[in-house]
Amino acid sequence: MKIERPVAIFTAILFSVSPITLAQAVGQPVADPLHAWIVAKTPDALQTWIDARLAAAQADVGKLLAVRGPHTVANTLRPYDDAQNELSIAANNAYLMYSLADVAPLRDKGQALAAKVSEAATALGLNRKVYEALAAVPLPVHDPATRHYITRTLLEYRLSGVDKDDATRAKIRALQDRITKGSLTFGRNIADGTLKIKATKDELAGLPADFIALHKPDASGVYTLTTNQPDVFPVLNFSQNADLRRRMYLTYDNIAYPRNDSVLRALLAARQELATTLGYAHYADLATADQMIGSAANVQKLLDAVDDASRATAHKEYEELLAFAQKREPGLKSISESDALYWGDQYRRATYDFNAQDVRPYFPYAEVQAGILKVAARLFHVAFKPVKDAVVWDSSVDVYDVYDAAIGDKGKKLGRIYLDMHPREGKDKWFSSAPVIPGIRGHELPEGMLVCNFPGGKAGDPGLMEYNDVVTFFHEFGHLMHHILGSQGEWSGEGGFDVEGDFVEAPSQMLEEMFHDPTILQSFGKNYQTGKVIPAGLIAKMNAASAYGRGRWLQAQVMYSSYSLQIHNQNPKGIDLAGIWARDQKHFSPFTPVPGGHFFASFTHLGGYASNYYTYVLDKVIALDFFAQFDKHNLLDGPTAMRYRRTVLEPGASKPAAELVKDFLGRPQNMDALKVWMNQEFQRPETAGM
C-alpha cells in the first residue's frame, strides 16, 4: 500500500531505538515502546503512547542538528534513521488501531493520530537543515547499501520540495496534511460502509448449503446478507437469481457512496496542487518520479503494451462466454457486470467439468493456514512456531515466530507474524499485509501482519474457502515473507516493504503461482468432513478452469490502472469521475455496466496507491518472469528457491529494484512469460481419480 510522500507511514521506514533512548526522550520508563495495543487500552493512553514516539523522534533530530564538524554516517545518518523509524513505528501502530481496533473510539483516535504522525513526518521531510546535513555526509565507497540509502533519501527530500522557499514549504506541508487526512477518511468510509440486503430462500438457490446454514432467516423467512467479502462473492459466483446478484453488486459498489465522492474530489485537488507546486504538470508525474517506471508516460506505454497483448485473447474469451450463456438463456444480448462471475462459473462447470463449489470442502480455513505455513517454510527455508501467550489486539489473531532453517543460520530467530484473518465489525474490509515492527540487524527483529477477511473465525463455521480465496492468501503471505526476510539489514529504511512502490507486488504475485502445483495443494487440501486429500483429477480440472479468462483479467487490471492514472493525470477541477469510469469500462470491459453503481467511491487503492495502481500490472510481468525460472517439477526444494530468497527477498531495498530483477533473471524482465501464462492451457487428464 503506497502512501503520500515524504514518509510512507503505513508500509514504511521502520526502526526501533532502545528503551533507554526512548525513556530519556520522554523522561519516564516505557512499558512497551513498540506495541501500542499492549499498553494503550483507551484513546488517551494511545495518545500518550504516540506522543512518546514523536518526542523520541524529535530528540533524534536534535542529535543530528547538534553536530559540529564533519557529518558522518554515524553522527548524522544514524540519528536521522532513528527519527524516521520512531515516526514510522508510531504511524504503523496508529494505523493498526485505526483499521483493526474493536471499538470505534480507538479507531477514531487511531485515525486522528495517524494524521498527526504524518504531519510530523512531513515537517521532517521539509526540514532543510536536516537535508543539508544528510547531503554533507560523504557517500561510502565500500558500502553500497548505505550509499544507496543516502542517495535515495536525498532524492525523496528533493521530491518533497525541501529546496523551496519558506512560504512554499509551508504550503507543501499543509497540502500533505490534507492529503493524508483525505486518504485516511477515504479508507475509513469504506471500512465502515458495511451494508445489508435482504433475500428470500428461493433467491439463495445455487449457493452452497453451508453458506445458507450460516445465515439464519428471520421470523418471516427473510435472510440478511452483508457486503462483507464472505457474503459478496459466493452470491455473485453461485446465486442462480440474477436480481439478487444485481442487488448485491450494486450494494457492494455503493458501500462508500456518496460519502467518498466529495472526499475523492478533495483528495485529487490536493494532490494536483501539490504536484504543480513541486513543478510537475500532474500528480501522476510526481508519483512516478521515484519509481521503477520513471514517469507517467512510461506507465501509459506499459498499459498500452499489455492492452495490445491481451485484447484479442480477452475478446475471444468473452465471445465464447456469451455464446455459452445464450444457449442457456436464448435471447440474451450481452452479459452484465453483475452476472460476469456467475456465467464464468457456469462456463467452467460445463467446459471443464469443474464446479468451484467442489473444491470448497477441501479448503477449510484452518487447513489452508497450516498448509501455507508449511509451503512457505519449505520454499523460504524457515520455520514457524506458534506464540500462544502473545498479547494481541483481538482474540482471533494468530501469532507465529519465524526462525531461519537455512544451512549455516538454522535456529536464528528472524521475526514475528500476526494473522488477523476474518471479518468483524469496524475492521478494515480488504486484504493486505503491513509491517508492525521494523527489522534492523542487531537491534530489532521485524514483525508483520496480514489483515484479511476470509470465511470462518466463528464457532461452527469451518470457513470453506474458494480457490480465489486461497490464491489471495498466497499473495498476501508473499508480502509478509518479503518483509521478514528483507528486513534483516543494517538500515531500517531498506526493509522489504521499502522497495520502490511498483516492485512491492512482484514477490506476492510470484507466490500466487505456487497455488497450481498439485503436490503443494495435496499437502494441505483435505476434506473438512472426511479428511481425504483433494484428488489429482479435481486439481487438474481446477487448473484448467482457472486458466480460462486470463485475457479478460489482464484487461480488467489495465482498466483499473488506466482509471487511477487518468484521474491523476489531468486537472481535477470539475472532473467527471463516473464518466471516466464509464468510458474505461466501455473500452476495456466487454460486460454491460449496471446502472447506479459508483465503483470509484470504494476503489480502496485510490487512497493508498493513488495514480500507481499500474504496480499490479508491471509486477505481474515481473512475477511471471520470476516464476518461469523455477523447476516446475520441484518448486519448493530446488536450488532456485534459495537463489530467489538470496537475490530478490533478502536484499530488501538495499539496491534499486531493477538490479534485484537483473540479479535473479540475469537480464531485465520481459513479457514472454506473461504471454505464455495468458494463453496457457492446463492438460486435464480425463481418467484422473475424483
pLDDT tens, 59-97?
Answer: 999 999 999 999 999 999 999 999 988 998 999 999 999
Worst-scoring range by mean pLDDT, 19-33, 96-110, 571-585? 19-33
pLDDT tens, 485-520?
Answer: 999 999 988 999 999 999 999 999 999 999 999 999
The mean pLDDT value for 121-146 works out to 96
Question: Which residue has better confidence, 582 or 682?
Answer: 582
Is the C-alpha dihedral spanning 391, 393, 394, 399 positive or negative? negative
Which residues are registered as beta bridge partners of 418?
399, 449
> Starting from the edge strand earliest in sequence, which strands make up the sheet with 447-451, in order?
382-386, 398-404, 413-420, 447-451, 432-437
Whether the per-residue pLDDT at 53 is higher than 50: the answer is yes
Which residues are registered as beta bridge partners of 611?
none
pLDDT tens, 628-660?
Answer: 999 999 999 989 999 999 999 999 999 999 999
- pLDDT band at residue 439 using 50, 70 and 90 as cut-offs: confident
Phi (first) and psi of residue 283, to 5 degrees: -65, -35
The mean pLDDT value for 570-593 works out to 97
Whether the per-residue pLDDT at 9 is higher than 50: the answer is no
pLDDT tens, 290-323?
Answer: 999 999 999 999 999 999 999 999 999 999 999 9
Phi (first) and psi of residue 683, to 5 degrees: -75, 130
Report pLDDT for 682: 60
Which residues are registered as beta bridge partners of 451?
420, 432
Report pLDDT for 4: 31
CATH class belonging to 19-125+127-160: mainly alpha
Residue showing cell 457486470: 337
C-alpha cell at 671: 513479457
Distance CA 243, CA 257 (A): 21
Report pLDDT for 681: 73
pLDDT tens, 154-201?
Answer: 999 999 999 999 999 999 999 999 999 999 999 999 988 999 999 999
Report pLDDT for 98: 93
| Percentage with pLDDT > 90 across the chain | 88
pLDDT tens, 253-285?
Answer: 999 999 999 999 999 999 999 999 999 999 999
CATH code 1.20.1050.40 region(s) in the chain: 19-125+127-160
CATH code 1.10.1370.40 region(s) in the chain: 361-551+615-678
Strand runs labelled E in 242-391 = 382-386
SS3 472: helix
Domain 361-551+615-678 listed as CATH 1.10.1370.40: yes
Report pLDDT for 640: 96
The interaxial angle of helices 615-627 and 296-328, nearest 10 deg, is: 80
Angle at 394 between CA 432 and CA 96, to 5 degrees: 45
Whether the per-residue pLDDT at 10 is higher than 90: the answer is no
Whether the per-residue pLDDT at 29 is higher than 50: the answer is no
Report pLDDT for 650: 97
- pLDDT band at residue 683 using 50, 70 and 90 as cut-offs: low
Q: What burial letters (b/e) apply to 527-537, b meaning 16+ CB within 10 Å?
A: ebeeeeebbbb
Distance CA 401, CA 475 (A): 20
Q: Return the H-helix or E-strand segment holding 420.
A: strand 413-420
Strand pairing category for 413-420 and 447-451: parallel
Question: Which residue has better confidence, 685 or 239?
Answer: 239
Query: For residue 429, how many other CB atoms are within 10 A of its CB?
Result: 23
C-alpha cell at 424: 468483524
C-alpha cell at 269: 485537488
